[in-house]
Amino acid sequence: MLISSDIDIIEQYVHEKYFDKGNLIKYLNMHSIVGSEIFSYCDKRIGRDGSTSYSNWLDDKYGYKPLSVASFIRRIPFYFYVNDYSNNHVGDLHCLISGIIREDKDENALEKLYQSLEYMLYEKKLLLTDIFCYIVSQTHHVSDAEMFFQWKHYLQLCDELGSNDYLPNCFITSYNEALEKEGLPPIIYEIGEIGIGEVSWRTGSHIEFEGTFPCDHNGQPIMKWIGLRVKNAKNVTCSQDKSSRGRLLVELTPYTTIHALNCYNNKDDEDCWYQIYAGPQTMEFDYEILKSSRKRLKYTQQDVADAIGATVRTYQKWENGETTPDGHYLLRLLNWLDIRDVQDVVRYTE
């Protein structure tokens, strides 16, 4: 039989508009193990087209496992939470379970979710609207389960650091700050695709990237936490809201170099930095390619000089790095030595 504290939880967290409290209490008094049928038994189906007021994941074997009455009552606030979208509150249990199941249909992950929800409600005393809606408001994404679990870890770090900033304005920045204060490695946010399969966009003297970029209180990107190495730029700015995806803009100079982390390799490969851009003042002629290409094709220096209309002594100076061919002769060298990409004859200084 239910005790008075159980009835109090039902009264506080189950809305009579959506659910029949009498049926709920009746079921719980009659059973020792609570099955998923309890939700349809109590639901009044007043949603659009008679849809359920609870998450339909609770009818699925991946979304709900039978519980004891005591455990079920502890989780009533989450099972029977109905969001008020008219107040711009976006997010609920269905969103979080969807995020977990999309990544991995693992009952351990589902149990981890419920334990996190219990921690936030019963230990941190957070409001249900904040629990379900905070990460959505940060990311503008309704099922970011990974960041939800990061938030739970952040709340634990707050305990250790003596902080009560449970709902920071920019979560990804505050989380990395807390990680570093505790001597833990921060998250490095790599750039994402911009457009369809592009790493960056070039517009005049600017290069633009897309991704999730931690920013300071002045809105400036914190580059040590971003998978970009930018040197000698005129300016680096960022436009995004809280922890959502945004754009990072690099204003170039002739000496700017940009490298991006893991933008071309596979997810499971070792970390690798790739050059995205190098300004003209960082470029040098790589004379060593001339010799290697000539030997690959079994040409003598005289053969090459004759083919491109230069003296052998002039060619020898190019191959030895004493002088640099002008554009006219460079094109001829690329042609005759079968050097198919101009980048092959360029090396960069930083």
pLDDT tens for 134-151 read 999 999 988 899 999 999
Of the residues 158, 182, 206, the one at which a domain ends: 182
Does the pLDDT of residue 261 top 90, yes or no?
Answer: yes
In whole angstroms, how far apart are CA 162 and each of 124, 169, 213, 216?
Answer: 13, 18, 26, 21
Q: What pLDDT is recorded for position 105?
A: 66
Does the pLDDT of residue 265 top 90, yes or no?
Answer: no
Residue 22 sits in the same domain as residue 132: yes
Q: Which two tokens stand for residue 245?
A: 């995806």
Domain count, the chain: 3
Could you tell me the pLDDT band of residue 186, with boundaries at 50, 70 and 90?
A: very high
Torsion of CA 143, 149, 152, 154, to 10 degrees: -110
Residue 40 sits in the same domain as residue 133: yes
Q: CATH number, domain at 289? A: 1.10.260.40
Q: Which two tokens stand for residue 79?
A: 């099972």
Residue 200 sits in the same domain as residue 266: yes
Alpha helix stretches (DSSP H) within 164-311: 171-181, 288-296, 301-308
pTM (two decimals): 0.85
Of the residues 278, 295, 323, the one at which a domain ends: 278
Residue 22 DSSP symbol = H
Residue 160 sits in the same domain as residue 207: no
Residue 176 sits in the same domain as residue 260: no
Judged by average pLDDT, the poorest of 101-105, 321-325, 329-333 is 101-105
Residue 264 sits in the same domain as residue 290: no
Where in the sequence is the domain holding 302, given as residue range(s)? 283-348
Of the residues 278, 308, 338, the one at which a domain ends: 278
Residue 69 sits in the same domain as residue 127: yes
Alpha helix stretches (DSSP H) within the chain: 4-13, 21-30, 37-42, 69-74, 76-79, 93-103, 107-118, 128-139, 145-161, 171-181, 288-296, 301-308, 312-319, 327-336
Residue 162 sits in the same domain as residue 103: yes
Residue 138 DSSP symbol = H
Does the pLDDT of residue 107 top 80, yes or no?
Answer: no
Residue 129 sits in the same domain as residue 206: no
Residue 228 sits in the same domain as residue 335: no
